[in-house]
Amino acid sequence: MKNILAPSILSADFKVLGEQVKTCAENGAEYLHFDVMDGMFVSNISFGIPVLASIKGAADIVMDVHLMIEEPIRYVEAFHKAGADILNVHYEACEDVQATLDAIHKCGMKAGLTIKPATPVEVLKPYLDQAELFLIMSVEPGKGGQSFIPESLDKIRELRGLLNEKGLTADVEVDGGIHLGNAKEVLESGANVLVAGSAVFKDNIAENVKGFMEILNENE
């Protein structure tokens, strides 16, 4: 299974966002993680559809859109039109999880299903063959710069084990507190998509991405 870096633009410099996205892609990042917050499901507000539409095409990179919003089914079509390739929704935010995943697929996007740190992996069991990606939050969603929750490693192992039992090859993505010092351990636990914000966008972006790519490539 291919290992993938998904830089989170929550930590980017929006004055030069297009340039930074291009730098990430040129140095090996294949996904761009786009965190949308509504001030209701999480306490913060970030950015949304106009920003996604404006950077789509800035680089050859997959737009991995993470909706931290209530009832995301309301905006599935709009995010598709704005350029989302993967639409990632929270289990906890959907009144009807299956209907939301179906709506994402109907628009031709890949579907992702996310759980917060306090939500057990077992809630994902009915949907293991209904999504192309599952995201384990390794911090509380809503803000960047938090420390990785160690117990997340057990959840990653459990999820990958459940997928393997069913012969499924969905991506396991991890978001929160990922840096060069713990990336290998997260991969060894069963993840293959790493979201990193400040660890990518602080200081030298090109060198940071290259550092992650070295670890990702060595652990495939």
Residue 175: active-site member: yes
Q: Which of 35, 38, 64, 171 is catalytic?
A: 35
Q: Where are the alpha helices (DSSP H) in 47-127?
A: 49-55, 76-82, 97-106
Q: Which of 64, 96, 175, 203 is catalytic?
A: 175
> Residues annotated as binding site?
8, 33, 35, 66, 175-177, 197-198
Nearest to 86 by CA among 116, 55, 107: 107
pLDDT of 62-78, one tens digit each? 999 999 999 999 999 99
pLDDT of 20-30, one tens digit each? 999 999 999 99
Cα 159 from Cα 218, distance rounded (Å): 22
Q: Domain limits of the chain?
A: 4-218
Residue 35: active-site member: yes
| pTM recorded for the entire structure | 0.96
Other Cβ atoms less than 10 A from the Cβ of 164: the count is 11
DSSP state of 220: -
- For the chain, the C-alpha Rg in angstroms (whole number) is 16
> Residues annotated as binding site for a divalent metal cation?
33, 35, 66, 175
pLDDT of 34-63, one tens digit each? 999 999 999 899 999 999 999 988 899 999
Region at 190 (left for phi over 0; alpha for psi -120 to 50; beta for the rest): left
The count of residues in the chain is 220
Tokens, residue 109: 């996007």
Tracing tokens 């598709």 back to the chain, one arrives at 80
CATH number assigned to the domain covering 4-218: 3.20.20.70
